[in-house]
């Protein structure tokens, strides 16, 4: 039983044509132990920041029951995806880096890779729901006002179901999961760029990258045009929403989408390169930087909430400083609600 993780790691790192001695050499030469230790330190620090900040975000919604609205459920679900990656993926990857190679065996590799894909795809789907929410609230208020808790629940569940589908496919034979060239983390086995991998990768990028980006750009382009039109016509006072809050929330959403691009573009490029090019030409540094960038969203989303939304910032500071409910007044719901009711005690 002790030999299985080593055999698995060696056999899955390279193409089927490579022999075991070559795979052992490549698995252990991709990074030095010092470089593994640096990656582990980054994962430990980033994971701790992510878990703490997202727990604070959830704490705000626990503290202020008025914030538990249909639209705020999107942010709550995003926080759970971030906690899932930082609470499960980061520790396993950090432990393997400190060990110098993947240390959780075949089953652990499948679970780790599937959970990371699952939470990543769910996050992308939820960000798309955020964009649709902004579009309906700003551009189509007639429809936005008719959106119910059930409607939002359906969109959120669809994002999770989509994530389950794509995360489970490699475990069922469409592509596969294996350690990456560093040997210390697991992901889709892009080193084995056969027909199964290429078809899976192209499908994932089309459904979970190109389509969401198209929807996001369409939504925010129209949101931008509508906001400029209202401003130029000096008719903001006639809009039945708290416009300053909506501008704040929309800016926050746009920053989230930009950071989504920054986080997932390197990973998508690596997958496409390995599908239509020579995966052996992808450097070990790029192989590890791409998934690290993708994971980075777990700790920058809470930072975006704080920086881009003054009311959210006020609430989160109150929670961190352990202020009593009576000591803070928030003028409207945070951060995605169009409610105009004051959150007072």
**pLDDT tens for residues 31-50?**
778 888 888 898 899 889 88
DSSP E strand boundaries for the chain: 177-179, 186-188
Closest CA to 97 of 32, 165, 161, 51: 32
- Render pLDDT for 92-118 as a digit per residue (tens, 0 to 9): 989 988 888 888 999 999 999 999 899
Q: What is the mean pLDDT of the chain?
A: 75
Predicted confidence (pLDDT) at residue 275 exceeds the cutoff of 90: no
Closest CA to 166 of 194, 107, 195, 207: 207
- Model confidence at 220, pLDDT cuts 50, 70, 90, reads confident
For residues 221-245, average pLDDT: 65
- The string of DSSP codes covering 123-172 is HHHHHHHHHHHHHHHHT-HHHHTT--HHHHHHHHHHHHHHHHHHHHHHHH
Take residue 176 and report the two structure tokens written for it.
Answer: 């596969």
- Render pLDDT for 309-325 as a digit per residue (tens, 0 to 9): 666 677 767 766 666 55
Instruction: State residue 21's pLDDT score.
Output: 34
Looking at per-residue pLDDT, the higher value among 77 and 302 belongs to 77
| Phi–psi pair at 184, nearest 5 degrees | -110, 5
Q: How far apart, in Å, do the first and last CA atoms of the chain sit?
A: 60
Instruction: State residue 114's pLDDT score.
Output: 94
Closest CA to 224 of 234, 213, 232: 232
Angle between helices 310-320 and 33-63 (to 10 degrees): 100
Question: Taking the C-alpha atoms of 12, 112, 180 and 83 in order, what is their torsion angle to the nearest 10 degrees?
Answer: 170
Q: What percent of the chain clears pLDDT 90, i.e. is strictly above it? A: 18
- Render pLDDT for 121-160 as a digit per residue (tens, 0 to 9): 998 899 899 889 888 988 888 888 888 888 999 999 999 9
Predicted confidence (pLDDT) at residue 10 exceeds the cutoff of 50: no
Instruction: State residue 38's pLDDT score.
Output: 87
Q: How far is 116 from 6, CA to CA, in rounded Å?
A: 22
- Model confidence at 17, pLDDT cuts 50, 70, 90, reads very low
- Render pLDDT for 251-268 as a digit per residue (tens, 0 to 9): 777 777 788 788 878 877
Domains, the chain: 4-327 (1.20.1070.10)
């Amino acid at each position: 039983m002790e030999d299985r993780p080593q055999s698995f790691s060696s056999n899955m790192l390279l193409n089927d044509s490579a022999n075991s001695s070559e795979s052992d050499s490549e698995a252990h030469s991709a990074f030095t132990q010092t470089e593994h230790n640096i990656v582990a330190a980054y994962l430990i620090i980033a994971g701790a920041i992510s878990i703490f900040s997202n727990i604070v975000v959830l704490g705000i919604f626990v503290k202020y029951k008025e914030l538990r609205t249909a639209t705020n459920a999107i942010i709550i679900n995003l926080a759970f995806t971030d906690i899932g990656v930082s609470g499960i993926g980061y520790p396993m990857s950090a432990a393997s880096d400190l060990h110098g190679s993947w240390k959780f065996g075949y089953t652990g590799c499948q679970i780790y890779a599937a959970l990371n894909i699952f939470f990543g795809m769910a996050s992308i789907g939820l960000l798309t729901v955020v964009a649709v929410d902004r579009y309906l609230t700003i551009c189509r208020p007639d429809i936005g006002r008719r959106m119910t808790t059930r409607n939002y629940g359906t969109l959120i569940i669809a994002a999770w179901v989509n994530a389950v589908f794509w995360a489970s496919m490699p475990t069922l034979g469409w592509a596969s999961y294996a350690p990456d060239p560093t040997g210390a983390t697991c992901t889709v086995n892009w080193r084995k760029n056969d027909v199964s991998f290429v078809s899976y990768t192209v499908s994932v990028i089309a459904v979970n990258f190109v389509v969401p980006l198209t929807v996001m750009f369409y939504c925010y382009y129209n949101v931008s045009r509508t906001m400029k039109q209202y401003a130029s016509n000096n008719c903001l006072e006639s809009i039945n929403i708290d416009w300053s809050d909506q501008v704040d929330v929309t800016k926050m959403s746009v920053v989230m989408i930009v950071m989504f691009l920054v986080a997932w573009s390197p990973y998508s490029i690596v997958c496409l390169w390995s599908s239509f090019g020579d995966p052996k030409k992808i450097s070990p540094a790029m192989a590890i930087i791409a998934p690290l960038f993708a994971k980075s969203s777990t700790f920058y989303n809470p930072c975006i909430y704080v920086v881009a939304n003054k009311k959210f910032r006020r609430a989160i500071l109150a929670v961190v400083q352990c202020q009593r409910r009576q000591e803070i007044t928030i003028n409207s719901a945070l951060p995605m609600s169009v409610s105009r009711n004051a959150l007072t005690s």
